[in-house]
Amino acid sequence: MIKAVAIAACVSTALAATSFMASALTLTEMSGSIDACHQPNANVDDTVAALAQEGWVQVPHGELGAEVTELLIWPQVAFYATGDTGGEQIKSIAELQRKTVAGFAKKKDIPQSKTRILTRQIGADTEAALVFWLQPDPAQTNIICRFALSGHSMIGHTAGDFGTPHPVETSPTQSYTITSMNAGRIAAKIGTPVTVSGIVQTTVNFAAQE
């Protein structure tokens, strides 16, 4: 059964619902994944285990296949494309992010930083996620999840390449942001098929556990 994201948990239900409706965004099959990424886990693999309950499977450390790489560049590209690109074109940003994503796949864990890559199958569509577990100082832990979603999980309409990011705060320490993509328009610009319909990024920060 399709599960819509539960906006009722937001700090302001009315405002959150309005932003979803105004931007014609539909987000499904993601409430459990967002919840999993909002858990204050002291171990990144606990977050991976929670995402596994939502159908996500961890990609082995090392080389990424071309399909997963192409999915995972878009959370990175969206971050730059919806901000100050410094005059860079989307095609050149995408090329740079392919190298960045390849680096994530080979990145080794250190005490302050751990990265995991996951995928899931929704019908005929493949979706991908990046999970970052970060401890910028000994007293604080941050978990960031970036999801590259198919049209099955996210439907959004934007005249440009990317829609305006829509942040939703579920608590003072938890939030997520939704960004729609015009896949056809972007594909025409970069000369490569684009199967991602939108991006969801979650963030949680909490006091590090002793």
What are the pLDDT digits (tens) for 100-118?
999 999 999 999 999 999 9
Q: Is the dihedral of CA 133, 136, 142, 144 positive or negative?
A: negative
Is position 50 within any domain? yes
The pTM assigned to this predicted structure is: 0.87
Which has more confidence, 17 or 25? 25
What are the pLDDT digits (tens) for 177-197?
999 999 999 999 899 999 999
Is position 121 within any domain? yes
Is position 2 within any domain? no
Say what the alpha-carbon torsion angle 100, 112, 116, 28 is, to the nearest 10 degrees. -100
Is position 95 within any domain? yes
**Could you give the number of structural domains in the chain?**
1
pLDDT of residue 183: 93
Confidence of residue 39 (pLDDT cuts 50, 70, 90): very high
Print the domain residue range for 41: 7-207
Is position 77 within any domain? yes
Is position 1 within any domain? no
Residue 175 has pLDDT above 50, yes or no: yes
Q: Is the dihedral of CA 204, 48, 177, 26 positive or negative?
A: negative
Is position 191 within any domain? yes
Is position 176 within any domain? yes
